[in-house]
A and B are shown apart, each in its own frame.
Chain A
Amino acid sequence: MPQTWEGIMRHFMLIAAAAMAVVGVTAEPIFAEDVTIKLWARADRSGPLRAGNIVAAADQMNRMFEAAGSDTRVKIDLIETNAAGFDADALDLLKAHSVGDTPDIAVAAHEWIGAFVEGGMLANLEEHISANASMYSDIIPQLWESVKFKGERYGVPQDSEVRMFFMNKDILRAAGKTNAELSALEAAVNAGEFTMFDWCDLAAEAVESGAAKVGWVHRPNVGPDFQMVMASFGIENYNKAEAKLQITRSGLTKFYGWLKYCVDNGSLPADMTTWSWDSTHAAFRGGDSMGKFHGIWNVGAQMESFGLTGADDYFNKIGWINAPAGEKGGKPQNLSHPIVYVVGNTPNKDLAALLVGMASQPVPNTAHAVGTNHTPINYGQTAMPEFIEKGWALVAGTPMLKVAGFMPNHPNIGQYNAVVFTGIQAVETGEMSAEDAADMVIEELEVELGDAVIILD
């Protein structure tokens, strides 16, 4: 230990210098005119090419500049966050925007467009899309609905998907179900004969017979999935006429009552909302859980964990159903949740929008869609050989989209979902009864959203 102050200062300076050397700085060649485009994306194993396609588009654009003899180069500044879900990422994105760090391009969940526009974050893309019809006119028209806010388009769809209840048929067979029963299941769901409660009974049977450790699992955090099961119980969360969010008290009570039923009969773990994503995926992919409520992009990882090859193998082991009806005679529901590219209201927005257009072309989009099992955005993609060969899952999922809806692009939908989720937490952990949870959620919605939500009985 140095005895003098000079000694101590010198020591510290050495340590600080060493630390800085460790941190290091990399130098990159700088061209005469560098345009930096900030790209914000979430680190998501089911979509690394969302950001990757923009980076590839930037490379392509740089080749165009070089060929044209220009000194301009596009440099992509990648901001990849580790948020646990798209809702979490949207909140971080809004925080960044609120302090002036608006990215030029962002990968986001479409329902947050309302909140983004109200916060002044997004560039209106109507003009750009009309001016560049050659890049955009093959996009499936219904998908444009997901990027509209007050009638104008603020983003470009990047992909879409189908969500479903996965069933591990091997577990059900071990629990005593015959193949005939399993094949009839899907039809029963679509006819409204097999209800949500029947699903939990089925899962409970699997647990009781010892074939499964857990009946079924759902996402452990806030997210779009719950809209489709709420719709099964009659909750229509958007009132188009008045452009306001909406909730039905009786529907909410039935929904929470159903969740409680599932926890009580042993099919749904009571602490589901405290699980990590890791353990949720592992439960189904490890063969511990009979069912999983999630989306089609899981297919790749499921095939890997179960060692399946090809469509026949897969559908022999795993079955898909829509969200069953809430009560007999009702209709099954589904949800399609497009992820979109949005362009920030920044000085570079024109260049950024063009990069987005380039990344939305069939070849890059198919690379993403087929690789991670998302549905394509352009009609032309369905004719590509790669898609026909490897996209069997997507083809199989397309019929389920008949009963699919989108989430509303209302500015407060994120808050709405977060509040509803607290009710799910309360009911599953046994903290509150279904009625109390519904009361609490409705009170919170009134308090936080005020006029933006209509409360129906």
Chain B
Amino acid sequence: MVDVPTQTFRTTETGPDWDRLAATSRRDRRLKISALTVFLVAVSIPIVLPYFWMVMIAFTARTGGADADTLWTACAILVPVTLAYVVGYQALSARYRTLGLIAAILIAGALLWFFLGDDLHLNNFRFMINPNIVEDIRGAATAGGQFPWVWTAFGNSLILAGTQTVIVVTVSTLAAYYLSRFSFRGRSAFLQSLLVLQAFPAITLVIPIFLIVFWVGLLNTLYAPILVLTALELPFFIFIMKGFFDAVPWDIEMSAMTDGASRRQAFWMVVLPQVRIGMIAIGVFSFIKGWEEYIFVTALRTGNSYWVMSTYLYYVREDVMGVDYGMVAAVSLLYVMPSLVLYLFCQKYLTQMTIGGVKG
């Protein structure tokens, strides 16, 4: 946004001094953007810093406690380098920006290696190879192993999140298509109730869902959280997909159908590819939700019938937090990685989502 300067301008013989005005307003604009940037950086640092600290602890902490000295050293290196890059980004032309990025990364890497190389180690990641992580540090507490191998929990989380994603994407896409294209009696009532359900916070229903899952006989299985999470995410996702379907002009379908395709074939081959972005967006959301789920996986089981990453991290933390911060940080890092990677790669799809038809 450009500010119109309010001060009076000097006129020359030929009229107002446009060059001077333009220069002033460019300067004002740069100042404003710089101020906003400083503000945004200031509020974003408290968010990024703990994650970065976790990464540093995972790679540097030794049994016995966490300290943040390595963190501050790393910050002292990375912050100037990043600032230099950001400033340079504005000043340099496009050709040199990539070079600048590579240079910044190399310089940061070299400095980090020089100052922190001695502290870095991979010992905290030994839980990936050795299942007896707790017994080795603290002694046996059980007749069997106290914790499973982390990959068991990882695999279960993958199954939970993956299956749930597939089901919820399928079901909500189908339902949204129907709602978008077909008219039937009770349609508006159905949509109204979906809206109420979407706004209705599902976590209130933990107790009755526990009872229902018990009566259906699915307690202590992975099917229970899969189905429950699917159902609870449906209203929101149906609305999002409906928004995407509404935006697809129906003449594409119509022309396919006049060409002889059945309704379903038109749906599968013509319409569906158009809403790919929506499906990716809700797929990512639901995978991340399934990956992080803690409440329903603990409520819908008795004893330790299955382990997922969230319960694994929770109990490992409870047990060895005081003794081995580093390993807990390393487990967290492993746990966070898939969410982070998925999120970063699909980020642009996520921000394209609206609340389904604000403008109709």
**Residue in contact with B162 in the complex, picked from A12, A40, A48, A54, CB distance below 8 Å:** A12
Inter-chain CA distance A378–B16, complex, in Å, is 106
A279 to B, closest residue via Cβ:
B322
In contact, A41 and B142 (Cβ under 8 angstroms): yes
> When A78-B144, A80-B142 are in contact, do A99 and B162 touch as well, CB less than 8 Å?
no
Instruction: List A contacts of B322 (CB < 8 A).
Output: 276, 278-279, 282
> When A15-B158, A282-B322 are in contact, do A81 and B166 touch as well, CB less than 8 Å?
no
In contact, B303 and A92 (Cβ under 8 angstroms): yes
In contact, B162 and A23 (Cβ under 8 angstroms): no
**A248-269 contacts to B (CB < 8 Å):** none
A22 to B, closest residue via Cβ:
B155
> When A16-B163, A19-B155, A276-B318 are in contact, do A96 and B302 touch as well, CB less than 8 Å?
yes
Instruction: List B contacts of A272 (CB < 8 A).
Output: none
Inter-chain CA distance A45–B166, complex, in Å, is 42
In contact, B151 and A22 (Cβ under 8 angstroms): yes
In contact, B159 and A19 (Cβ under 8 angstroms): yes
Interface status of B152 (Cβ within 8 A of chain A): yes
The range of chain A's interface size is 35 or more
In contact, A23 and B304 (Cβ under 8 angstroms): no
**Residue in contact with A99 in the complex, picked from B146, B166, B302, B318, CB distance below 8 Å:** B302
Instruction: List A contacts of B220 (CB < 8 A).
Output: 101
In contact, A48 and B302 (Cβ under 8 angstroms): no
| 0 or 1 for each of A26-67: is its CB under 8 Å from B? (1 = yes) | 000000000000001101110011011011000000000000
Write the nearest CB–CB distance from B64 to chain A, whole angstroms.
Answer: 11
**A79-106 contacts to B (CB < 8 Å):** 79-82, 84, 92, 95-96, 99, 101
In contact, B303 and A81 (Cβ under 8 angstroms): yes
The range of chain B's interface size is 20 to 34
Interface status of A20 (Cβ within 8 A of chain B): yes
Instruction: List A contacts of B315 (CB < 8 A).
Output: 82
Q: Most chain-A Cβ atoms within 10 A of its Cβ — which of B140, B304, B323? A: B304
Q: Please report whether the interface of chain A is mostly helix, strand, loop or mixed according to DSSP.
A: helix
Instruction: List B contacts of A24 (CB < 8 A).
Output: 152
> When A5-B272, A45-B139 are in contact, do A79 and B304 touch as well, CB less than 8 Å?
yes
In contact, B143 and A92 (Cβ under 8 angstroms): no
In contact, B304 and A82 (Cβ under 8 angstroms): yes
Instruction: List A contacts of B318 (CB < 8 A).
Output: 82, 84, 276
> When A99-B302, A276-B322 are in contact, do A45 and B159 touch as well, CB less than 8 Å?
no
**B286-331 contacts to A (CB < 8 Å):** 302-304, 315, 318-323
In contact, A48 and B142 (Cβ under 8 angstroms): yes
B268 to A, closest residue via Cβ:
A5
In contact, B143 and A78 (Cβ under 8 angstroms): yes
Inter-chain CA distance A79–B301, complex, in Å, is 13
> When A12-B166, A44-B141, A101-B220 are in contact, do A80 and B159 touch as well, CB less than 8 Å?
no
**B6-33 contacts to A (CB < 8 Å):** none
In contact, A51 and B302 (Cβ under 8 angstroms): no
Write the nearest CB–CB distance from A421 to chain B, whole angstroms.
Answer: 19
Interface status of B132 (Cβ within 8 A of chain A): no
In contact, A20 and B321 (Cβ under 8 angstroms): no
Interface status of B198 (Cβ within 8 A of chain A): no
In contact, A80 and B146 (Cβ under 8 angstroms): yes
In contact, A92 and B302 (Cβ under 8 angstroms): yes
In contact, A16 and B303 (Cβ under 8 angstroms): no
> When A16-B163, A19-B158 are in contact, do A48 and B143 touch as well, CB less than 8 Å?
yes
In contact, A41 and B143 (Cβ under 8 angstroms): yes
Interface status of B343 (Cβ within 8 A of chain A): no
Instruction: List A contacts of B166 (CB < 8 A).
Output: 12
Inter-chain CA distance A15–B159, complex, in Å, is 9
Inter-chain CA distance A92–B298, complex, in Å, is 11
Inter-chain CA distance A52–B344, complex, in Å, is 47
Instruction: List B contacts of A80 (CB < 8 A).
Output: 142-144, 146, 304
**Residue in contact with B155 in the complex, picked from A5, A20, A40, CB distance below 8 Å:** A20
**Residue in contact with B323 in the complex, picked from A16, A78, A278, CB distance below 8 Å:** A278
| 0 or 1 for each of A1-28: is its CB under 8 Å from B? (1 = yes) | 0000100000010011001101110000
Instruction: List A contacts of B155 (CB < 8 A).
Output: 19-20, 22-23
Write the nearest CB–CB distance from B66 to chain A, whole angstroms.
Answer: 13
Write the nearest CB–CB distance from A12 to chain B, whole angstroms.
Answer: 6
In contact, B152 and A23 (Cβ under 8 angstroms): yes
B144 to A, closest residue via Cβ:
A78
Q: Most chain-B Cβ atoms within 10 A of its Cβ — which of A15, A19, A40, A95? A: A19
Instruction: List A contacts of B156 (CB < 8 A).
Output: 23
Q: Most chain-A Cβ atoms within 10 A of its Cβ — which of B140, B144, B146, B272? A: B144
In contact, A99 and B214 (Cβ under 8 angstroms): yes
Interface status of B168 (Cβ within 8 A of chain A): no
Instruction: List A contacts of B56 (CB < 8 A).
Output: none
**Residue in contact with B141 in the complex, picked from A48, A92, A282, CB distance below 8 Å:** A48
Instruction: List A contacts of B152 (CB < 8 A).
Output: 22-24
Interface status of B154 (Cβ within 8 A of chain A): yes
Q: Most chain-A Cβ atoms within 10 A of its Cβ — which of B155, B162, B220? A: B155
Inter-chain CA distance A276–B302, complex, in Å, is 23
Instruction: List B contacts of A101 (CB < 8 A).
Output: 219-220, 302-303
Interface status of B264 (Cβ within 8 A of chain A): no
| 0 or 1 for each of B133-169: is its CB under 8 Å from A? (1 = yes) | 0000011111110100001101110110011001000
Inter-chain CA distance A278–B138, complex, in Å, is 11
In contact, B141 and A16 (Cβ under 8 angstroms): no
In contact, B159 and A43 (Cβ under 8 angstroms): no
Inter-chain CA distance A73–B138, complex, in Å, is 33
Using A23-B159, A92-B302, A101-B303 as known contacts, list a sample of 6 further A-B pairs with CB atoms less than 8 Å apart, ordered by residue number in A: A41-B143, A44-B141, A55-B143, A80-B146, A81-B304, A84-B318
A-B contact pairs, 6 of them (CB 8 A): A16-B159, A23-B151, A81-B303, A82-B315, A101-B302, A276-B321
The interface of chain B, by Cβ under 8 A from chain A, is 138-144, 146, 151-152, 154-156, 158-159, 162-163, 166, 214, 219-220, 268, 272, 302-304, 315, 318-323
The interface of chain A, by Cβ under 8 A from chain B, is 5, 12, 15-16, 19-20, 22-24, 40-41, 43-45, 48-49, 51-52, 54-55, 78-82, 84, 92, 95-96, 99, 101, 276, 278-279, 282
